[in-house]
Amino acid sequence: MSTATLSIDLDAIAANWRALDKASASGVQTAAVVKADAYGLGITRVARALAQAGARRFFVAVAEEGATLRQVLGPGPQICILSGHMPGDTDMIGDLDLTPMLNSLDQVTRHLESLPGHAFGVQLDTGMNRLGMEEPEWEAIAPFVLEAGPELLMSHLACADDPDHALNETQLATFLAMTNGTGIPRSLAATGGILLGPKYHFDLTRPGIGLYGGRPYEAARPAVTLSLPVIQTRAVAAGEAVGYSCAWIAEAPSMVATLSAGYADGLPRTLSNNAMLWDGDTPCPLIGRVSMDLITVDISHLPQIPRYLDIIGPNQSADDLADIAGTIGYEILTSLSHRYNRRYYEGAV
């Protein structure tokens, strides 16, 4: 095959959910965030594995993702829409029993007028300045909204991956001030918030990146391996260049492998001349420019030509690759190409 293989360990994802569920305070429900096609890993197989592990509430970004997820899970599990109730969403929300997290007075009005009695939650802005109602807006409409019976009041931490950041405590205090005494279930913590401790957990936690083996959940089981096939090799003489713009020139006779993946497949160009691939435990340097569909790797030191090399795997996580590329593991995972042949593993003994 000339297509790279993305191997996804569903048992690891389920184990990570169970561990984060256990890390959440006693009596706290643990949801699962599966937006962006389950962080690039495939919402169909991932969501089913999480449901089998025990997740009964899921979060996605937009109503269209919720519609896909409802087809996957069928009736029963609650599917929450973080973008809220947007124009044009009403039929999907009503017909498919989706639960929007309302972010503004406009959304509150739209939802309560078009779907009276339908489940909803409210998202509050406690300092991130992204989604949700700020304190003055919430104070003005809270009595009316609370009377309508929201199922959840939630907010999102901006700096939970940095436990010492002052904004964590500030957001916690703001959230308490905005929600104390309402009698409505509350949620503030995603993966990082779970790790900050029980005072951030409230009634529901919403792990996302930690399910898939990413930071800040350092104890996570790795869930992803990305193996790139070698489609050609060539001997390169000293002084010859490899790839676009002659960005790598051989200092000695070299054996160069061309692998099938490039920036069209989610490998950033910033990896050019700056990353390793792995033949088992042996590192092999990426040389020259990352191009659209191909990369080149120096395999001169290998005893034989490999069939494939790993760019994500036991020796290099998505976060490690992101560090090299100057980005974050979230971006690496969610950019994984649909050209990759996805292989799912579960039920390992």
3-state secondary structure the chain: CCCCEEEEEHHHHHHHHHHHHHHCCCCCEECEECHHHHHCCCHHHHHHHHHHHCCCEEEECCHHHHHHHHHHHCCCCEEEECCCCCCCCHHHHHHCCEEEEECCHHHHHHHHHHCCCCCCEEEECCCCCCCCECHHHHHHHHHHHHHCCCCCEECCCCCCCCCCCHHHHHHHHHHHHHHCCCCCCEECCCHHHHHHCHHHCCCEECCCHHHHCCCCCCCCCCCEEEEEEEEEEEEECCCCEECHHHCEECCCCEEEEEEECCHHHCCCHHHCCCCEEEECCEEEEEECCCCCCEEEEECCCCCCCCCEEEEEECCECHHHHHHHHCCCHHHHHHCCCCCCEEEEECCCC
**Phi, psi dihedrals of residue 238, rounded to the nearest 5°:** -55, 135
Active site residues: 35, 244
| Residue 292 is labelled as binding a ligand | yes
Contact between 233 and 299 (Cβ < 8 Å): yes
Look at residue 328 in the predicted model and tell me its pLDDT.
97
Contact between 6 and 343 (Cβ < 8 Å): yes
Burial of 203 (0-12, 13-18, 19+ CB in 10 A): middle
Look at residue 1 in the predicted model and tell me its pLDDT.
57
Identity at 298, one-letter amino acid code: D
Rounded CA separation 159/171 (Å): 10
Q: What is the DSSP letter of 83?
A: T
Identity at 292, one-letter amino acid code: M
Over its length of 349 residues, how does the chain's per-residue pLDDT go in tens digits?
589 999 999 999 999 999 999 999 999 999 999 999 999 999 999 999 999 999 999 999 999 999 999 999 999 999 999 999 999 999 999 999 999 999 999 999 999 999 999 999 999 999 999 999 999 999 999 999 999 999 999 999 999 999 999 999 999 999 999 999 999 999 999 999 999 999 999 999 999 999 999 999 999 999 999 999 999 999 999 999 999 999 999 999 999 999 999 999 999 999 999 999 999 999 999 999 999 999 999 999 999 999 999 999 999 999 999 999 999 999 999 999 889 999 999 986 4
**Phi, psi dihedrals of residue 235, rounded to the nearest 5°:** -85, 130
Structure tokens at 290: 């990352």
Q: Which residues pair with 18 in a beta bridge?
A: none
Phi-psi group of 105: left, alpha or beta (phi > 0 → left; psi -120 to 50 → alpha; rest → beta): alpha
| Residue 18 is labelled as binding a ligand | no
Contact between 267 and 332 (Cβ < 8 Å): no
pTM for the predicted model, two decimal places: 0.95
Look at residue 141 in the predicted model and tell me its pLDDT.
96
Identity at 170, one-letter amino acid code: T
CB atoms within 10 A of CB 94: 12
